[in-house]
Amino acid sequence: QIQNSSRLTLQYSIQLDSLSSTRDKDQQRIPSFITSSLQRTDFVGTQNYNGLSVFSIFPTEGEIVAGKSQDFIVTFSPDHESLYYSDRLKVVLFGKEIAHVIHLKGAARDHPMFVEGGVPLDVPVESLAVTVPTSLQEALKGGNKLPLTLYYKTLQEPVKSVLLILEYIEGESSPMPAVTELKIGSIQTAQFASKKNLEFSFDNLPLLQQKGFTVESVKGTIERGQVKRISVSWVPPADFRADDPLLVTALLTIKGDIKETYRILFMAKVVTAC
């Protein structure tokens, strides 16, 4: 909502960076995922494959008389899974003065199950190209048909990875375990009407324990619409060497409407207290 507290009638327009007339020119620069996050100036993230803007706003222009206000509706309409939809909205007065800047962010998932936490291992800028595996392209040349089971296996999503970094502070009078957390959740939506609870479980627990890691909940169930926070802590084991990086991998399996597997990378190190 924008309120006009002045004595003048305000002429306004709403502009999205993704629809800017200079957008094509801006895309000729070095891709933003090559530069560091501190150097990025492009506020437009993932966009729809269908060419339509993922964010839309109504109304886009008009007048606000003195003492009145105007409500705006922003709609988020993604057409594929991504955690990095983003755009920048600018409120321009009288065709030249930028009065407000609002950063828009959105996320969409193919399935109601999700795992969050740790350090992102993917890039926040995605290609708009929809690719098909080379093996599938070759097999389908000349009208060849694949058995249903082979076709399914070919199109299976790769295992997703999550990196957890734990830093144990050495030199404190009362040292505490390094702690981080992982979130596992299930979205409640009308599209997925199943009442089946989400199940999760970790493997490779003996090795994790041997290396000093403790996972608060190694298996359990989560109701629809709920999020479970799982605490992960680490204390250096007796044979730990500070000059030898510690990295342990475990698989997290979640089952709901489908089954998904996440590769959890547990990285730990000792840092000296300042």
Q: CATH number of the domain at 41, please.
A: 2.60.40
Over residues 187-198, mean pLDDT: 72
| 122 and 224 co-located in one domain | yes
Question: What's the confidence (pLDDT) of residue 71?
Answer: 93
Q: Is residue 173 part of a domain?
A: yes
Integer Cα distance of 159 and 262 in angstroms: 6
| 100 and 227 co-located in one domain | no
For residue 163, give the amino acid letter: L
pLDDT of 42 strictly over 70: no
- CATH label of the domain that carries residue 267: 2.60.40.10
| 93 and 175 co-located in one domain | no
Q: Is residue 16 part of a domain?
A: yes
Integer Cα distance of 260 and 247 in angstroms: 22
pTM, whole model, 2 decimals?
A: 0.67
Which domain covers residue 93, as residue numbers? Answer: 2-108
Q: Is residue 152 part of a domain?
A: no
| Helix%, strand%, coil% for the chain, nearest 5 | 10, 45, 45
Using DSSP's 3-state secondary structure scheme, residue 205 falls into: helix
| 53 and 181 co-located in one domain | no
Over residues 57-70, mean pLDDT: 92
Place of tokens 């605490």: 231
Over residues 15-34, mean pLDDT: 67
| 101 and 11 co-located in one domain | yes
Task: Tell me the per-residue pLDDT of 110-166, one tens digit each, with 9 for 90 and over.
Answer: 888 889 888 877 655 555 444 444 444 444 455 544 444 444 444 445 578 899 999
Over residues 103-112, mean pLDDT: 87
Q: What percent of the chain has pLDDT over 90?
A: 43
Confidence grade of residue 194 (pLDDT, cut at 50, 70, 90): low
- Exposure string of 141-171, with b = 16+ CB inside 10 Å and e = fewer, is eeeeeeeeeeeeeeeeeeeeebebebebeee
Question: What's the confidence (pLDDT) of residue 154?
Answer: 40
Q: Is residue 151 part of a domain?
A: no
| 6 and 36 co-located in one domain | yes
| 118 and 251 co-located in one domain | yes
Distances (CA, A) of 52 to 77, 78, 101, 123: 9, 9, 22, 22
Integer Cα distance of 232 and 70 in angstroms: 47
| 249 and 193 co-located in one domain | yes
Integer Cα distance of 183 and 185 in angstroms: 6
Q: Which of 108, 140, 175 is the C-terminal boundary of a domain?
A: 108
Using DSSP's 3-state secondary structure scheme, residue 150 falls into: helix
| 124 and 81 co-located in one domain | no
Question: What's the confidence (pLDDT) of residue 175?
Answer: 78
Q: Is residue 137 part of a domain?
A: no
| 121 and 185 co-located in one domain | yes
Distances (CA, A) of 91 to 1, 2, 18, 20, 226: 11, 9, 14, 13, 36
Confidence grade of residue 229 (pLDDT, cut at 50, 70, 90): very high
Strand partners for 115: 184
Residue 163 has φ and ψ, to the nearest 5°, of -105, 120
**Total tally of structural domains belonging to the chain:** 2
Integer Cα distance of 180 and 168 in angstroms: 11
Task: Tell me the per-residue pLDDT of 209-227, one tens digit each, with 9 for 90 and over.
Answer: 999 999 999 999 998 889 9
Q: Which of 59, 54, 64 is nearest to 17 (CA)?
A: 54
| 240 and 118 co-located in one domain | yes
Alpha-carbon torsion (43, 49, 51, 53), positive or negative:
negative
Integer Cα distance of 29 and 22 in angstroms: 12
| 258 and 202 co-located in one domain | yes
